[in-house]
Structure 1
Amino acid sequence: MSPFDAVLCDFDGVLRVHDARVQAGIDHGYGLAPGTVLATALSPALIGPAVLGEITFEEWEAALVTEFTGLLGSPERATRLVGEFMAVPARVDERVRELLALAQRHVPVVLVTNATTRLEEELDGLGLTLFADEVVSSARVGVAKPDRRVYELAAARAGAVPERCLFIDDRRENVEAATLLGMTGVHFREAEDLRRVWAEAGWE
């Protein structure tokens, strides 16, 4: 018997990976300290409304241009920077995809992601539209990790109780919130983290 009735999995940083070298190159190219662009774009004041669906992806993008205009002193440079940031290449981690597909032979797999209104387009671009059994996007449901409600919703969509769910995320605080609900948590760093859990579950 499987030890879990569902796998709830994060998207960015687990299944989708952005090119860190290209991302770092944007900071350098605009004379900013390393990590400035990503930290600014994902600051709660800017990304928060976008991942709760209070503003669209396009409105978040416009807010970034305004923010970077203040940093760079030039709306033209800020517009170019944001365009480069949005175009950072992303790929599917095929090892993770294979492991999640293996899990799907046994239980439903639900993507649980703090995302913008562009998520559906991004999944389609990566060939993942029909990959997961369910997708819980914060921008569509109006709650985001680590709010307990998003975990409860994901479990319900999988037809499982929280105590029988395996939750995977690359952010420790999101994993800790899941375990407080009784879920089994995996703090993701590499595909091998999942492979070990799969072996223990007998998903081979």
Structure 2
Amino acid sequence: MTLPFDAVLCDIDNVIRYYDHTELARLEEAEGLEPGTTAKVAFSDGVDGPLLRGEITKSRWRESIVRGLTGLVPEDAARRLVRAFGRTPTRADVTVVELLRRAQRHVPVVLVTNATRELAEELEPLGLLAHFGDRIVNSALVGVAKPDRRIYLRAAEVAGVPPERCVFVDDRAENVEAAAALGMTGVHFRRVEDLARALEELPG
């Protein structure tokens, strides 16, 4: 059987791994902030980039978040919010994991993520290293982050196939567009069905 692709490149956060911000949102509301404010500061321009490229430590990143929140709330409250942000529980979507494991029977599956140097220890409790640990392209380790074209080329290299024979899955449209510009088949992930449809031509 001839397949339309020879590898699957897949994002992690908001595709495989999800965060439960319930407790953080409660604390933010108690401080008079909109839920999501801490994350908005944490992932704003100039704050998360150095972390995701492996240029600074997580502790320095957290100090940057504290500075970004100070002015909105007192410093002690900002530090409480950042501590809660760092303790946010996570879960893996078992349906997505199973779809990717089925795909692994036929083609290489490479996880491509903007993450920190601590990614491996974060994924191990979720059981993800056991399935994908030998094929993860982490921005903090390669020094470039999505949507930089170099991280996509590195992922294709890890998969061992040309970019135009890769399917790339991500929840962020700009990342999908960057992959498509390299000839990859882009899949904008918004729900599990988006991934299922992309993989439906695989046997079984």
Query: Given the two structures, how large is their TM-score scaled by the length of structure 2?
Result: 0.93
* Equivalent residues of 1:179, 1:185 under 8 A apart: yes
* Farther-moved stretch of structure 1 (51-60 vs 164-173): 51-60
Runs of 4+ in 1 over 2 A off after TM superposition: 20-27, 65-71
Check conservation: 1:23, 1:88, Cα contact below 8 A.
Answer: yes
Per-residue CA deviations over 1:157-186 (Å, capped at 9, x if unaligned) read 110100000000000000011001000011
Choose 22-31 or 129-138, whichever is displaced more.
22-31
Amino acid of the structure 1 residue aligned with 2:55: E
Cα deviation 1:24-83 (Å, max 9, x = unaligned): 333212211243211111112110110011101222122222332333122x22221111
**2:51–2:140 Cα contact (<8 Å) kept:** yes
| Uncovered stretches (5+) of structure 2, i.e. residues with no partner | none
Partner deviation per Cα, 1:139-198 (whole Å, 9 max, x = no partner) = 000000001010000000110100000000000000011001000011001111111222
Tell me which residue corresponds to 2:174.
173
Structure 1: unaligned runs, 5 residues or longer: none
Asked if structure 2 preserves the Cα contact closer than 8 Å seen for 1:8 and 1:110, the reply is: yes
Distance 1:196 1:102, change over 3 A: same
The root-mean-square deviation of aligned C-alpha atoms, in Å, is 1.4
Q: Tell me the CA shift for residue 20 of structure 1.
A: 4.5
TM-score, length of structure 1 as denominator length: 0.93
CA contact (8 A) 1:102 1:203 kept: no
Q: Deviations over 1:68-120 (max 9, x none)?
A: 2333122x222211111111211000010000000000011111000112211
The number of equivalent residue pairs is: 202
Residues 24 and 81, structure 2, Cα contact 8 Å, conserved in 1: no
Give SS of 2:70's match. Answer: helix
